[in-house]
Each structure stands twice: as structure tokens, then as C-alpha cells.
Amino acid sequence: MVRISQQVTDSEVDHAKRKALTSLTLELDNSHALSESIAVQLASVGRRVSPLEAFKQISQVSAADVRRAATKYIYDQEPVVVATGSQISSLPDYNQIRNYTYWKSL
């Protein structure tokens, strides 16, 4: 998790942007996916974001933007962990998860 805040590359960000744009394009052909996307947009930003606006916003994201956001929201932060179900026994200890949020310097 920490590597994203320190070392994410332009090619990794470009790959992620291509995947996001493909996903956005595919959801336009599926009424269920489109309605779910609109609901998420209304809940998160309070309005429907047009596909053109979403394409523009995604296209403008840079590796520096990703590093800045990861530093703010991931690096050396206290993660919230919630788990239910039968596989909860395989959940790592909280301290182990917390250790993933910062570089260990010796």
C-alpha cells in the first residue's frame, strides 16, 4: 500500500486509467450497471456526473495526483478493518495491516 504513495509510475497510472475508462464505457451499455453508477455518483458527489465529464476527470489524473492522494489517505494512517463470515479467521492481525501503511526504517 505504501509504495503507491512513494513510487507509483506513469505507466501504472496509465494502465489504471485505461481500465477505468473501459469499465465506464462498458457500463453505458448495461442498464443495471448504469443505474448503480448513477446511485453511487448521487451518494458521493450529490449529482450525476456525465460520461464526458467522467472521461475528462479520469484522463487528467497523473502519477503525482495518485501519490499525493495516497500520501494523504493511506501513508501512516490508521486503517479501518471490517470482516464478517466464515473466512474471518484468515484476516491478518490489525497490527500487521497497520504495518502495511508505512515504510519501516531500521
One digit per residue, pLDDT tens: the chain, 106 residues? 788 888 999 999 999 999 999 999 998 888 998 899 999 999 999 999 999 999 999 999 999 999 999 999 988 889 899 988 888 888 999 998 888 888 765 4
> What pTM value is reported for the model?
0.75
Kindly compute the dihedral angle of the four CA atoms of residues 21, 25, 31, 35, in this order, to the nearest 10 degrees. Answer: 30
Burial class of 15 by CB neighbour count within 10 A (0 to 12, 13 to 18, 19+): exposed
| Residue 60 to residue 63: CA distance in whole angstroms | 10
- Residues ≥6 apart with Cβ < 8 Å to 43: none
Mean pLDDT of the chain: 90
Instruction: Enter the C-alpha cell of residue 16.
Output: 489504471
Q: State the helix-helix crossing angle for 63-73 and 10-27, rounded to 10 degrees.
A: 90
